[in-house]
Chains A and B, each alone.
Chain A
């Protein structure tokens, strides 16, 4: 499987995916950490991918999404944004609504 296929596979099979630096328990960047906290505040269920453990994916996803930084949050396969946007959407109450569309 190519790295792009791997990304598509992750996004197709998981309604909410967070590509981040470190893990939800041990974020290795303040922006990734803040995003994890916001998702926790929404009681979101999500798949986390530690980009430090996958150098190939780390570079490929930046090109794929036209987004050069991490974290990157995807809901229903669509890039929602990085830390700033996620925090902004959370404060407006929109993030919870977006996450609710993925609940089974």
Chain B
């Protein structure tokens, strides 16, 4: 399962406090991007490494961790990347 692989790669590379992965592939079945077989996923990830980093840098860290997965198995990845202090502000 791609979801399990995503979880493993992100956990190893980013050591998140919280990691939620949603598989939205079914909602996109049949549209042009889904034809290649790549899925649509959403991740919510809270980790220390995001502290002080821009959104682009956070996403780059995540893309780097996922590596080749982004080429085939994942067509689209929604990312909500927060540092622990930002998460506290939200609550």
Contact = CB atoms under 8 A, between A and B. Distances in A.
Interface of A: 28-31, 66-69, 79-82, 84-85, 88-89
Contacts of B26: none
Contacts, number: 33
Interface string B50-66: 00000110011001100
12 contacts: A31-B76, A66-B63, A67-B56, A67-B59, A68-B71, A69-B63, A80-B56, A81-B55, A81-B56, A82-B59, A85-B56, A88-B55
Chain B, interface residues (CB within 8 Å), range: 10 to 19
Contacts of A85: 55-56, 59
Given A69-B70, A79-B56, 9 more contacts: A29-B33, A31-B76, A66-B64, A67-B63, A68-B70, A81-B55, A81-B56, A81-B59, A85-B59
Q: Is chain A's interface secondary structure helix, strand, loop, or mixed overall?
A: mixed
A28 B77 contact: no
Interface of B: 31-33, 55-56, 59-60, 63-64, 70-71, 76-79
A67 B60 contact: yes
A66 B60 contact: yes
B59 to A, nearest CB: 7
A69 B76 contact: yes
